[in-house]
Each structure stands twice: as structure tokens, then as C-alpha cells.
């Protein structure tokens, strides 16, 4: 986690991607755009492993999860 306390500092999703590169992050959303898409929030937890991230957010009933980066390999899904 960054030095600042979790759940106290609001950041845009672009800032979050820069500050938590290539990590799974869990965010409480604080701002949305006109389409309802989240654009800013407070980082609750981050982790390189998405299952460890789940352990940290089990008590949260409303939270946004995403990977702060792009796939490192070509995708064939």
C-alpha cells in the first residue's frame, strides 16, 4: 500500500494505475462520470495476487476491483 493511509485519500483511476502498477486493487468509488463509470476512489487494498486481495476486502459489501495495468501477454480468450 502507498504511504498514505488507505481509505483516506481520493485519487483518480489514472493516478491509481500509476501508483499501483501491475497490481490488483480494490477501491471504494467516490466519483463517477456521466455514464456511471467510476473515475475516482479510495484504495482499500492492493496485491499482486487477486485471491489475497479478496482476503483483505471480505468485509466490504460494495467495492470495485480491477487490475492496474494491461495484460503482459497477447490474449486468446
- Residues 33-52 contacting other proteins, CB under 8 A: 35-38, 49-51
Residue 67 is a binding residue for other proteins (CB under 8 A): yes
Would you state the cell numbers that stand for residue 77, as one nine-digit string? 480468450
Q: How far is the CB of 20 from other proteins (least distance, A)?
A: 13
CA atoms within 13 A on the CB side of 4: 11
Find out whether 23 and 68 touch, Cβ atoms under 8 Å.
yes
Residue 2 is a binding residue for other proteins (CB under 8 A): no
Would you state the cell numbers that stand for residue 41, as one nine-digit string? 476512489
- Residue 3 CB: number of other CB atoms within 10 A? 5
Size of the site for other proteins (CB under 8 A): 25
Interface with other proteins (CB under 8 A): 29, 35-38, 49-51, 54, 58, 61-67, 69-73, 75-77
Amino acid at each position: 500500500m502507498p504511504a498514505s493511509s488507505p481509505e483516506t485519500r481520493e485519487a483518480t483511476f489514472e493516478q491509481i494505475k500509476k501508483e499501483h502498477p501491475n497490481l490488483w486493487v480494490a477501491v471504494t468509488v467516490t466519483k463517477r462520470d456521466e455514464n456511471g463509470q467510476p473515475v475516482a476512489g479510495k484504495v482499500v487494498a492492493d496485491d499482486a495476487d487477486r485471491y489475497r486481495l479478496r482476503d483483505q476486502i471480505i468485509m466490504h459489501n460494495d467495492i470495485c476491483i480491477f487490475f492496474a495495468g494491461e495484460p503482459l501477454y497477447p490474449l486468446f480468450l
